[in-house]
Amino acid sequence: MKKIVFGLTAVLALSLTALSLAGCGSSPKSGGVASAPIGRGLSGVPSFVNDAYLNASEDVLIGIGTYKIGNDTSKMGTGKTFAETRARADISRQLQTLVKNMVNDYTATSELDPSAAVSFQENITQTLSKSDLKGAKVVKMDTDDSGLLWLVMEYSRSAAAAEVDQAASAAKLAVPAAAAFNALDRMNTAFDKEAGGGPVPVSD
């Protein structure tokens, strides 16, 4: 398996955290987390979530979302919507962490002013926070014995690279000093460092 684990990648809202988020109309937010090294299972989750993680295709980010539906099956549609939103937020947080590390690495090897680096990172992060993560797909959805709906979402390496590259391009307009920042190359470096995968395909 070469699923990417950037420190807190495969971040999970654990059962206790998920229960605290389960109120109607509550917005997604981070809470307790669990992570797993490459090639290992996740702790504190139902077996079907763990299996989906372990059987995921190579070079993907994994997002986990939850919603409490209890025994009321009429909440399944609403539950899926909320769980999917939370899974996307999970992936978005991973991308933002990745960008932060990429900008830090870039700043350390360039003459980019620290204040410009902060502005550059904030611009990328702001763009990513508004992204709908086109291409993300639900690969597993089921409830556990307590009536908690779990949803597993995958976001491919190439889609993540394209998303960050687009956000970086927009950020360069606001921070011209970061014009030399090559998002695709740095994404490849980051993914290869964690997973040993091949390059992200880039077409002209």
The series of mean pLDDT values per 10 residues for the chain, 204 residues long, is: 40 34 31 37 81 81 91 89 94 89 89 90 92 91 92 91 92 93 86 58 40
Q: What per-residue confidence (pLDDT) applies to 41?
A: 61
Question: CA distances (Å), 91 to each of 9, 117, 128, in order?
Answer: 8, 23, 10
Q: What per-residue confidence (pLDDT) applies to 29?
A: 28
Joined together, the tokens standing for residue 194 give: 């964690």
Of 132, 107, 131, whose CA–CA distance to 119 is shortest? 107
Identity of the amino acid at 74: S
Domain boundaries in the chain? 15-194
Q: What per-residue confidence (pLDDT) applies to 39?
A: 40
Which residues in the chain belong to E strands, given as ranges? 60-68, 137-143, 148-156
How many Cα atoms within 13 Å fall on the side-chain side of residue 113? 6
Q: What is the CATH number of domain 15-194?
A: 3.10.129
Question: CA distances (Å), 138 to each of 82, 135, 146, in order?
Answer: 13, 10, 21
